[in-house]
Structures are given as structure tokens and as C-alpha cells.
A and B are shown apart, each in its own frame.
Chain A
Amino acid sequence: MSKDNGRSKAYTICSWVILIILAFLFIFPLYWIITGALKTQAAINSPTPQWWPGEFTLRNFQTLFSKRSAPLFQFKIPFLPLMVTGPIVPAAIRWLVNTVFMAVVAMVLTCVTAAMAGYALAKKRFIGRTLLFSLIVAAMALPKQVILIPLIREMSALGLYDNIWAVIFPTVGWPFGVFLMKQFSESIPGEMLEAARIDGAGEMRTFTQIVVPMIKPGIGALAIFTFINSWNDYFMQLIMLTSSSNLTISLGIATMQAENSTDYGLIMAGATLAAVPIIVVFLIFQKYFTKGITMGAVKG
């Protein structure tokens, strides 16, 4: 504390001021989206911006929900010519349903497969382990978007093009999760696994009773990380999904933007619908999220 002379105090105050200004600038776009969604057409199209909406209106949301409609869900029963279809709702609601479905399924599949694979890579001494791990690390360093163009042809060959599973599967295959889970599994003491084996516990039991509880924080981090990333993976959604009822919320907003590029009120209402749910999820789980980012980088 004795080193706290005038100069470093001034520096501290300065950096606080700058940080607060920066924080304001980083929050502003979000503020502008949400207030924009609630402004009247006249307020939006005026050359003088209204910093706070003079008059609140829900008209933009009404327009958004009246634009198009789609069934709430469609579910085809495999091998049968049966299709279960939900009630007709505004397309934007269907897009949200699609997005939540996609993000949740991708998250669950990623966590299950990555936890198992990460544990095996960290704790099993099997032939080909080093080679496999190097392949995973090398794949991670490659630009993810480059493989998506070839994926389109693969998906059409599999009959999955314009299907939400075409977005889910590559997300699950991306090796970051395995890498992250390996990092977490390294900390499991080998003696515990040894003891379980001596006690006669089977592989699956050892995994669910000992390994999973120990890497729970890691699974939490991976879950939230996958959820947010797949929600926002616009490029993949763009190239894989085409028909109006299969879109995700981001993709739907982008399509609307292309069609009504000057109706900013409507577009901001859509952007609010796309951004607010995921921001709420992020705020609730941000501790896990931070941990996931940090752990994934340990050996980068």
C-alpha cells in the first residue's frame, strides 16, 4: 500500500473511467436492439435518434408474428408414412422451437460423447492413443467453416440436407469437446480407478459412478459452451437449412432482413427474440462458461 503514490492512483481512476466508457459502448448495441424493437416507425426513421423511446409500441412484434406461419413442430415417425404436426403458429415461434431443439440436442450429444471419449483419452492406455489425440488437436487448428462446404454434399447424400440434424451432427463431431473433457479427466486420480477395478466394478459403472461426478464442472462448462455456440453458428445454419419452416431464429431474422431491409423496427424485434433468450442463459451460467473457455486453452 505504501507504493500507492499519486501517480498510480491517477492511473487507477483513469482506467476506471475508460473501462466504464468501454462497457457502455459494448452494451450499447444490445440496448439499441431492444429499445429499437419498441419504437414507433416514425421514431426509427427519423434522422435524429431517440435515445429513449418517446412512445412504446408492440407493433413491431405484432408484425413479426403475423409475417408468416408454420406448424409448431413436425415430427416424422421413422419407417412409417406418418407425420405428426403441431398447431399452426407464427413462423418466428417455430424458428425458436427449432433453435432450442437444435441447441439442446447438440449439447446433450456433445456432452455424452465427449465425456466418454475424453475419459478414455486421458485414462486408458490403449494402442493408437497418441496418434488419435494428435489428429484431434490438428483438426481443431483447422478453420471449421472450410469443411462445411464439402459437408453439404455429404448431407444431401445422406438425405439430411435442409434438416435440423444436418446442423446438429457436425457440431457434435467438432473435437473441441473431447479435448476439453480430456483436460478435465486428467485430474482423476488413477488410484481411484484402480480401486474400483479391484472392487470388481465394470467399466460402465466406473465411468458413471466415479468419473462423471468428478468431471461434472467440466461437463457443465462444455454444455453451456456448446449450447451458446450452436445457437449462434450462423454459417452452418445458413448453408444447411433452406425451407421457411426449418429455419433457426438467427437465420429467420437474416432472411427477413434481406426481404424488408429498411424496416428496422421489425428487424430489431426479430433480433431481440434471437438474442435475449441466449443472453439470459449466458448470464445464468456464465461462471461455468468462463471455466470452459479457460480450461480449453490450458494446452492450446
Chain B
Amino acid sequence: MRQTMSPELRRRETISGYLFLLPSLVFFIGFVVIPMVMCVATSFTDANMNSNEVDHFVGLANYIELWQDPVFLKALVNTIIIVVVSVPVVTVFSLWVASAIHKMKEAPLSFFRVVFYLPVVTGSVAVTVVWKWMYNNYYGIFNYLLKGVGLIEKNINWLGDPRYALGCIIIILLTTSVGQPIVLYVSALSNVDQTLIEAAEVDGATNFQTFWRIKWPQIMPTTLYILVITTINSFQCFALIQLLTSGGPNYATETVMYYIYYTAFKLFRFGYGNAMGVILAIFIAVLSAVQFRLAREK
């Protein structure tokens, strides 16, 4: 039917198609595409935050400076640590929770889905301030509880100690990252072909075998999607840092996203900040591509 479209119909479809797209395209081009282009373009200039001043083209100077900037390198290492820890933990954790709850009745299933999504909905600011209180040196419950069970002898300044600060941040990040993957895995697991599982059970397959041989390949696209979104989220870890540690102590929790913000808002180096943004985007794109490739091969 579609192949026999007359030129007249095709023309009409094109016009009406673009008319329907127009409102959305205005916003998409105006507030997504243009900033993207600006991000790349200004990364080759010495632009500051004042849009009235003329930007000077500086070539690759910003990019060269990045690799000699110890704070950026530290931020990059921290960001990679966050990604390397949180992505596998989030994926395995949410897969386990989803397998444990997906066969439940509607009420408990909804309950658990909502509970694990709660930290996301609560909002990063509310979540962060309460964790800040819980981590507090004097009135925080962590010091109280850990002293109570005898794990530590005296209070630890969790967020002020370079040895613990990044770990503390990762813990909060984990609680705010599992909600969406759990919802996705629950839906993927309930869509797995039941006849295959029954057939395998008749053949005497163990639960482990059914999972590995039948369910795992079928939920692979979901796993892939979860890997990608969790990677992107972890790379963008910002609110926690800004509200809890401002990158400190001694750059122990500096992340790329926070450093971009710092460069643009505190140092007013717009072009330099955008160069970092470009590098961050490239990192995420490469990592997502690698994950895709690896998952495809399996």
C-alpha cells in the first residue's frame, strides 16, 4: 500500500508531517541542538560567561590544557571510579530484586516497585540533605550505630575524610539509581516466554539453568538499556557533590560534572568548561558503544 503512494499524496504527507513536527522541532532545535553546537564551537575559544564580549579562537588550547590540569584528571579518575562501582552494582542488585518480586501478586509488587523508586521521586536535594545529616560527625546516625555495634571506636567525619567521602557519595548514588532498572527488569522478566520456561522445567532444568539459558538471553536488550542509562547517570553525578562536599576534601570527590559547573560558574571559563563537556560526551558515547558491542557478541 505504501509503495504505491502517489507523488501528490507524498507531498501532502510531507507537508502535514512537518506541520505536526513543527512545535516540537522549535523547542528541540532551539534548546537542545543549538546548545550542543554552541558547546562544541565555544570549546575552541576563550569564551567567558559574558555573551557581549568577543570570543577568541584558541584552537585546541583548551583540550591541551585539560590533560595538564591535575584537578580535571583527578575528577576524571573519580568519575570513572563512580561509574565502575555503581554500574555493575546497580545492574546486579536490580536484577536480583526484580527476579525476587516479579512473580508476586499485584499489591506487594507495586509496593516494592514504589519503595525502590522512592529515593528518585523524593528529589536529589531532599535526599542529599537527609544523608548529610545521617553522615554528620556529631549527630549522625551512622556514627551512633557503628559505635553501638562496636565497628568503630570514635566518630568518623565521613564526608570530611578523603578516605571515605567518595564511598559515602557512591552509597547515596546507588540508592537513587536502582528504581528505574527494577521497574524495567520486572517488566522484562514478566514478558519472558512462559512456554519455554515450562518446557525447561519439564526437562528437569534447575532454576539456575532456566535463568541462565532462557531468561538471561531474553532480557538482554533490557540489560543493555540499563547499562547505558546507569552509565550516563553515574557520569553526570552532580547534585550530591555540590550539596555535600563541593568536590572536597582535597578534591577527593571532585567529578567531571561538578568541575564543569565550577569552571563555568566560579572561574567563569565558559570555553574551558565546554571543552570538558565535549570530552565527557565522547566518553559516554564510547562507553555506550563498547557496552553495545560486548552485549551483542554474547
Do A and B originate from a single complex? yes
What residues make up the interface of A, taking CB atoms closer than 8 Å to B?
3, 8, 15, 18-19, 22-23, 25-27, 29-30, 32-33, 36, 44-49, 109, 112-114, 116-117, 119-121, 124-127, 129, 132, 135-136, 139, 141-154, 156-157, 169-170, 172-175, 178, 190, 203, 207, 228, 231-232, 234-235, 238-239, 250-251, 253-254, 257, 264, 267-268, 270-272, 274-275, 278-279, 282-283, 286, 290, 293-294, 297, 300
A117 partner residues in chain B, CB cutoff 8 A: 20-21, 23-25
Residue of B nearest to A18 (CB): B100
Q: Does B71 contact A (CB under 8 A)?
A: no
Distance to closest chain B CB from A1 (angstroms)? 11
State whether A153 touches B24 (Cβ < 8 A). Answer: no
Nearest CB in chain B to that of A48: its residue: B144
Q: Is the CB of B125 within 8 A of A253?
A: yes
Residue B67 CB within 8 A of the other chain? no
Selected from A113, A150, A153, the residue in CB contact (under 8 A) with B23 is A113
Instruction: Write the nearest CB–CB distance from A115 to chain B, whole angstroms.
Output: 9
- Contacting residue for A150 out of B13, B35, B117, CB 8 A: B35
**Residue pair B239, A235 in contact (C-beta under 8 Å):** yes
Smallest CB separation, A297 vs chain B (Å)? 5
Contact yes or no, A151 B31, CB < 8 A: yes
Contact with A along B268-293 (1 / 0, CB 8 A): 00100110011011001100100000
One of B57-65, B81-89, B161-169, B257-265 at the interface = B257-265
Taking the closest CB of chain B, its distance from the CB of A241, in whole angstroms, is: 13
Rounded to whole Å, the gap between the CB of B93 and the closest CB of chain A is 9
B30 on the A face (CB < 8 A): yes
Q: In the complex, what distance in Å separates the CA atom of A44 from the CA atom of B138?
A: 10
Q: How far is the CA of A121 from the CA of B121 in the complex (A)?
A: 31
Give the residues in chain A near B221, CB-CB below 8 Å.
Answer: 300
Q: Which of A23, A114, A139 contacts B24 (CB 8 A)?
A: A114
* B149 in the interface (beta carbon within 8 A): no
B27 contacts A169, CB within 8 Å? yes
A23 to B209, CA, bound (A): 29
Q: Is the CB of B129 within 8 A of A257?
A: yes
Q: Assuming A142-B281, A175-B32, what are 8 further A-B pairs, CB within 8 angstroms?
A: A29-B127, A109-B27, A113-B23, A149-B264, A274-B123, A278-B121, A290-B187, A293-B180
Main SS class of interface, A:
helix
A154 contacts B35, C-beta separation under 8 Å = yes
A148 CA to B13 CA, complexed, in Å: 35
Q: Please name the residue on chain A nearest to B237 by beta carbon.
A: A145
Residue of A nearest to B124 (CB): A234
**Smallest CB gap from A254: residue in B:** B125
Cα of A238 to Cα of B265 in the assembled complex, Å: 11
Given contacts A116-B20, A143-B232, A146-B280, contact A32 B134 (CB under 8 A): yes
Q: B199 an interface residue at 8 Å Cβ cutoff?
A: no
Inter-chain contacts of B222 with A (CB < 8 A):
297
User: Which residue in chain A gives the minimum CB-CB distance to B28?
Assistant: A173
Across the interface, do A113 and B27 meet the contact criterion of CB distance under 8 Å? yes
